[in-house]
A and B are shown apart, each in its own frame.
Chain A
Amino acid sequence: MGDQLPPTQAARLLGERKVIVNLGVEVFEESLRLQGVEVVAVRWQPPAPMPQDVAQLLDELL
């Protein structure tokens, strides 16, 4: 974790541009925009049910 960071450096999570991907509640997306954050919105849909083995295979392929 912190081992990647030289001890004198200010820790930065978001990078220079402050871009955040929002997946879920739209209210939080609006809150981020209000703070000047660039938001990448993902319009999530509940996945159609699929057999467990197919779901696992897809997950492993990622």
Chain B
Amino acid sequence: MPAVTRLLRNEYLDSLVLMHLSNEVSSWPGVRQAVLVMGTESNRRILEQVGLLTGVARTATPQDLVIAAELEPSLGEAEFMARLDQRMRARQRTGSASQGYSDLVTALRDHPEARLVSISLPGEHAAVAARQALKLDRHVFCFSQHVTLDDELALKKLAVERGLLMMGPDCGTAIVDGVGLGFANRVRSGSIGLVSASGSGLQEVVCLIHRAGAGISQAIGVGGRDLRAPLNGIMAEAAVRWLGQDSHTQVIVLLAKSASVQARRRVLDAARACGKPTVVDFLSGEIADLRPSGAVAADTFEKCASEAVRLTGLARPPSPGAGDSEVALQARVAEMPSSRRFVRGLYAGGSLCGEATHILEKSGIRAASNLEEPLSERPAGHLVLDLGAEEYTQGRAHPFIDPRLRSLEIQQAFADESVGILLIDVVLGLGCHPDPAGAVVEALQKASDAHGKGPVVIACLCGTPEDRQGYDRQLARLLHAGVHVAGSHAAAAQLAARLTTLIEVKHG
């Protein structure tokens, strides 16, 4: 049956709402496939690829919502449209869809008590909104990606001039005054303050701190590019100085995937000037030049968290892993077919993915990855993938929210008889999928039904018992499915490295 289309002029819904609605409408009886998208050029191309670009859909503009579907003969167009109208009306009634301001400036002028604006618009519009907010003296948390470097630098300069924080763009998470922004975990208040250019790294460190019994004063995300040229730590420096003057913050933690020489000097000088003990993890950087700054160097997120906790006066041993013992895992590895000899990392968190490649490399295991640039083809051998990278998230939600892509990758890893160790992250928190462990377990079940026992599966579970998904409930699900859950991400990657080395030794 040909495609049917409903065009709603000047009706905007965000990509997550559209993803949920697309899934829901696709599951209706009589619907072969349904796609709800804004009428951007790239979305029109997607509609064309799946055979749903009708003449009406071709006229859509980025301001218009396109609902396109292919129906079974059993479902008439009129009946489908009536049901669709009913669903959209229900959304209007039950959701907050119809309430709210139509423009940011009016909202800010009416609410002088609102000190912060959280922005998660399509990237090309995020910079405009952030500039408006800063000009009206509000702090900004900007989740959006695809803001140009020039815009980012201009926004951060404006923020510094006005004594404001510009968290992001591309800031996945932050915790300010106890409130989680973006993908944030529920953690107790305490005396450790973070400044981070790494979203999943920040989540891992605050969760480990919480699970060790300490707490967080503030966790300021600055966006993934802040410590690289040409930004060179402009906002990280401002955030460190700000934490330096916050009486609740006794220990400062600095996290970045990579940092330019200028950025390192700048933020370390700021940390030294504030006189508070500081722990630093610049994932890919040398640690030698940290010594003059007096900062404690950490080479993993786990070490970062444990050093910060130690500096607050608490001493807790690292959490042990759960599931099969390492000896039992070694025995499983020994029994595996000799073809299963490579590690496959399937990550939702980019910084966790980065940490995995570093830890593997330290053990002499060089894994290909898409961290620096997209892979043109899947190489044979060890492979660690960041499934939250741009090439995987265009037209779909981040894997913290939408686990389907990783589920497919898990099945592919089982089908690929060269994969011996499967390494994954399960990330909990506000805004994340309500049951990420459940999605992993379901994928593992399908994969083992189709392909047999498959690789050894090692996971890190990034979350706290207070997260809405519940650390303990998620842990139980993974353990029940035979997954080894390490006490931290570093421990997971180190275990994967040891088992991979064992396989290499076994096969010469």
Interface of A toward B, CB cutoff 8 Å = 1-15, 17-29, 31-32, 34-35, 37, 40-48, 59, 62
Contact A47 B125 (CB under 8 A): yes
The smallest C-beta distance from A47 to any residue of chain B, in angstroms, reads 7
Contact B121 A21 (CB under 8 A): no
Q: Fill in one digit per residue for B217-251: 1 if any A CB lies within 8 Å of its CB, else 0.
A: 01000000000000000000010011111111100
Main secondary structure of the interface of A (DSSP, over half): loop
Docked CA distance A31–B434 (Å): 12
The smallest C-beta distance from A6 to any residue of chain B, in angstroms, reads 8
Contact A23 B119 (CB under 8 A): yes
Residues on the A chain within 8 Å of B178, using CB:
35
Residues on the B chain within 8 Å of A47, using CB:
63, 125
On chain B, which size bracket covers the interface? 35 or more
A41's partner among B38, B96, B120, B125 (CB-CB below 8 A) is B96
The smallest C-beta distance from A3 to any residue of chain B, in angstroms, reads 7
* In the complex, B95 has a CB within 8 A of chain A: yes
Chain A residue with Cβ nearest B17: A26
* In the complex, B319 has a CB within 8 A of chain A: no
Docked CA distance A29–B427 (Å): 20
Contact A62 B143 (CB under 8 A): no
Residues on the A chain within 8 Å of B143, using CB:
24-25, 28
* In the complex, B364 has a CB within 8 A of chain A: no
Contact B125 A46 (CB under 8 A): yes
Contact A42 B101 (CB under 8 A): yes
Contact A26 B95 (CB under 8 A): yes
Contact B116 A13 (CB under 8 A): yes
* In the complex, B135 has a CB within 8 A of chain A: yes
Residues on the B chain within 8 Å of A6, using CB:
245
Docked CA distance A21–B185 (Å): 20
Residues on the A chain within 8 Å of B243, using CB:
11
Contact B16 A25 (CB under 8 A): yes
Q: Which of B105-113, B208-216, B279-287 faces chain A?
A: B105-113
A29's partner among B96, B163, B184 (CB-CB below 8 A) is B96
Contact A19 B132 (CB under 8 A): no
24 inter-chain pairs at a CB distance below 8 angstroms, sorted by A residue, are: A2-B245, A5-B246, A9-B247, A13-B115, A14-B116, A18-B177, A21-B111, A22-B120, A23-B121, A25-B120, A27-B401, A28-B143, A28-B181, A31-B180, A34-B430, A35-B178, A35-B430, A40-B114, A42-B101, A42-B103, A43-B99, A43-B102, A45-B102, A46-B63
Tell me the chain B residues, 424-448 only, with Cβ under 8 Å from chain A.
430-431
Residues on the A chain within 8 Å of B176, using CB:
13-14
**Contact A26-B38, Cβ < 8 Å, known A9-B247, A20-B116, A59-B131:** no
* In the complex, B139 has a CB within 8 A of chain A: yes
The smallest C-beta distance from A1 to any residue of chain B, in angstroms, reads 4
The smallest C-beta distance from A57 to any residue of chain B, in angstroms, reads 14
Docked CA distance A37–B135 (Å): 23
Interface centre among A2, A8, A9, A34 (most CB of B within 10 A): A2
Contact B135 A62 (CB under 8 A): yes
Contact B163 A1 (CB under 8 A): yes
Docked CA distance A21–B105 (Å): 11
Chain A residue with Cβ nearest B160: A1
Docked CA distance A29–B164 (Å): 22
Contact A24 B165 (CB under 8 A): no
